[in-house]
Chain A
Amino acid sequence: MNMRNIKYFFSESYKSLYRNRVLSLATIANVAICILILGAAVLLTVNASSIISNLESDVEIVAFIDKELSAKETDLLQSKIEKIDGVKTIVFVSKEQGLKDLQEKFGGTEYDLGSTLGENPLRDSFEIQAVDPHQVPDIAKNIEILNGVYKVNYGKGVIDKLFQVTKWVRVVGVAMIFLLAFGAVFLISTTIRLAIFSRRKEVYLMKLIGASDWFVRMPFFLEGIFLGLTGAIIAVLLLALGYSSLTGQAHTILFLPIVTDVRFLLHIYAGLLAAGMLLGVIATYFSLNKYLDV
Chain B
Amino acid sequence: MLIQFYNVSKIYPNGVKALDDISLKIDRGEFIFLMGASGAGKSSFVKLLFREELPSRGQIFMNSRSIVRMKRSEIPKMRRNIGVVFQDFKLLENKTVAENVAFAMEVVGAPLRSIQKRVPQVIKQVGLEGYEHTFPGQLSGGEQQRVGIARALANEPLMLIADEPTGNLDMDTSLEIMELLYDINRKGTTVIMATHAQQLVKSAHKRVVMLEKGKIVSDSQVQFEEQQI
Contact = CB atoms under 8 A, between A and B. Distances in A.
Contacts of B111: 2, 4
A211 B76 contact: yes
Interface stretch (B63-71, B101-109, B166-174, B191-199): B101-109
Interface string B40-82: 0000000000101000000000000000000011001101101
Contacts of B175: none
Nearest to A208: B52
B79 A208 contact: yes
Contacts of A206: 107
A205 B92 contact: yes
Contacts of B76: 207, 210-213
Interface residues of B, number: 21
A242 B151 CA distance: 56
Given A205-B92, A210-B79, A215-B107, A4 B112 contact: yes
A207 to B, nearest CB: 8
A5 B112 CA distance: 10
A1 B111 CA distance: 10
Interface residues of A, number: 18
B90 interface: yes
Interface in A189-227: 201-202, 205-213, 215
A210 B108 contact: yes
A8 interface: yes
A208 to B, nearest CB: 6
Contacts of B82: 210
Contact of A209 (B72, B107, B109): B107
Contacts of A202: 92
B92 A208 contact: no
A5 B52 contact: no
Interface of B: 50, 52, 72-73, 76-77, 79-80, 82, 84, 90, 92, 104, 106-109, 111-112, 151, 155
Interface of A: 1-2, 4-5, 8, 201-202, 205-213, 215, 294
